[in-house]
Structure 1
Amino acid sequence: MRADPPPIGFAPPSIDETDIEAVTRVLRSGWLSTGVECEQFEAELSAVVSAPHVVAVSSCTAALEIALDAQRFRPGARVGVPTWTFAASASTVVRAGGVPVLLDIDEETLNVSVDALEAELAQGLDGVVLVHFGGLPVARQVLDATSAAGIPVVEDAAHAFGATDHRGPVSGLGTVGACFSFYASKNLTSGEGGALATHDPELAAYARSHRLHGLSSDAWQRYRVGAEPSYDLVEPGLKANMADLLAALGRSQLARFGQLQARRRAAVRCYRELLRPVDGLRVVPTELDERSADHLLVVLLPPGVDRGQVIASLGRQGIGCSIHFRPLHTFSWFAANVPIGVAGVAVADRLADRALSLPLHAGLTDEDVDRVVTALVQELR
């Protein structure tokens, strides 16, 4: 009897023995929470993204919340957010006292539409959360428009660690800061975790305190032999520090990040070559953008195709898929509580049921890609 082929996971982490050894080292060190590993991880991240300040936190959501809290928005402040994103991009605005205004997307990239943003800026916005969808940085015109408006911009770079744009590596240059995710499915993982990269020393200092309840000194500083144990509460903050246990995994991953990214890029190229002849199907963006971090491989299915049926069929063949994203305005809470921008969300509505994320990770082989594409094409016939 012929054995079934092994399953192809959607985005399993790439873990090797050096990662395991790094975590084991911390387990044996006598200190598991935020300490020297976290400090070193921050320094190494700073060098990679060319930002003078990187603050490691518990998640990208925490980084967004800290960056937004630091803006001291007035209650009800209007903050533009693309509707095509994860819920945290907008829910953190709510937690900071603002009101997300949901903006339409560009059909080619699924990033925020320049036209929709400019139309809402004309109405008046107090800030913007920009999302670099799938690892592809937003258009330069987007940053130019927000800069001209003189409003704070927080970059949701959950997908974009390793991406570059006209400023260099995505790092928060010219904005409040860039918020990265090191979740289990991301290009670089610490299991859970994130970081805020910024060129603003005052924001970095605020983030270091705010990530640990708003205290003036963390436990590692207070518990060392001979250290001053007293501390103050600067202002109420979050519990969002990154543990050394997670930072050690992140550092190990970062040491071979170039190799991990090279394998992702090879898989993306293979996908694009095999998918190009498929009628009615389009990869997002249409052509490979060398600046991308290659976090996702998203296709737009031909109009009228039942996406749920496609996902179920691939699943029966052991192939994992996902959806990025269900537009925020289609969720019940956002629909009831959050306004849509003046330009509407026609593009997001038109594409909402067509976007499909195919498996993409550093362990994906060309043979795996061929199997995914073959299964997809057979289902579309």
Structure 2
Amino acid sequence: MTVHRLRPRPHVHATGPPQETGIPFAATWISPEARRAARRVLASGWAEHYDDALKAVSGLQPLDVTTPGRHARHLYVVRVTEEYGTARDELVDRLAEHGIGTSVHFTPLHQMPLFRATALTPPEGLPGAETLFPEFVPLPLYPGLSDAAVDRVCEELACSATHPDEI
């Protein structure tokens, strides 16, 4: 290895996209369109819309925002509890049948192939992660989302509940 490779590289802050700056990767640059879209998501209040609409659906618990007013709100995640009466995977399938897409996030690291082989996991596993993972589902939240779409998602969530005490 040459001395040249050991010298620290200067910090580069790009003020434009990679194709204009000549910097192959500009992690700090965000396009103006993406910034405007993010502002629309935050300004729209969709998370609050979900909060209000889902209060009446027992068994769905929105995750708490730890710092009110400062959350990026790039995801709106609910916990599907036993009280809801339908398991998370079944709920995801039902929503998909009605054209509502979701994607499962937060897979515990020790369950991912690479980490399963390399992670130092306690003999008893990670019971918290293993208990919560099959209960979380992120609901649609993106810049083009309309209030009517949020209402439709909430209606489908209310209809998909099969409370155990009603069976």
TM-score by length of 2: 0.72
* Consecutive unaligned residues in structure 1, runs of 5 or more: 1-202, 209-218, 222-239
What SS does the aligned partner of 2:155 have? helix
Query: Could you tell me which residue of structure 2 aligns to residue 293 of structure 1?
Result: 72
Query: Could you tell me which residue of structure 2 aligns to residue 24 of structure 1?
Result: none
Q: Per-residue deviation at 1:287?
A: 8.0
Query: For each residue in 1:49-80, what CA deviation from the matched residue of structure 2 results, as whole angstroms up to 9, or x when unmatched?
Result: xxxxxxxxxxxxxxxxxxxxxxxxxxxxxxxx
What SS does the aligned partner of 1:253 have? helix
* Consecutive unaligned residues in structure 2, runs of 5 or more: 1-7, 14-20, 163-167
Whole-angstrom CA distance in 2 between matches of 1:369 and 1:260: 13
Query: Could you tell me which residue of structure 2 aligns to residue 318 of structure 1?
Result: 99
The 5 A counterparts of 1:204-283 are 205=10, 220=22, 241-242=25-26, 250-254=31-35, 257-263=38-44, 266-283=45-62
The answer to whether structure 1 residue 355 and structure 2 residue 136 are counterparts is: yes
Kept in 1, the 8 Å contact 2:50–2:154? The answer is: yes
What SS does the aligned partner of 1:274 have? helix
Q: CA distance change for structure 1 residues 257 and 274 in 2, over 3 Å: closer, same or farther?
A: closer
The answer to whether structure 1 residue 375 and structure 2 residue 156 are counterparts is: yes
Q: CA distance change for structure 1 residues 365 and 205 in 2, over 3 Å: closer, same or farther?
A: same
Kept in 1, the 8 Å contact 2:95–2:101? The answer is: yes
Query: Could you tell me which residue of structure 1 aligns to residue 16 of structure 2?
Result: none
Whole-angstrom CA distance in 2 between matches of 1:361 and 1:316: 20
> Could you say which structure has the higher helix fraction?
2
Q: CA distance change for structure 1 residues 334 and 311 in 2, over 3 Å: closer, same or farther?
A: same
Kept in 1, the 8 Å contact 2:86–2:160? The answer is: no
RMSD: 3.3
Query: For each residue in 1:161-182, what CA deviation from the matched residue of structure 2 results, as whole angstroms up to 9, or x when unmatched?
Result: xxxxxxxxxxxxxxxxxxxxxx
Using the aligned pairs only, state the percent identity: 28
Q: CA distance change for structure 1 residues 282 and 204 in 2, over 3 Å: closer, same or farther?
A: farther
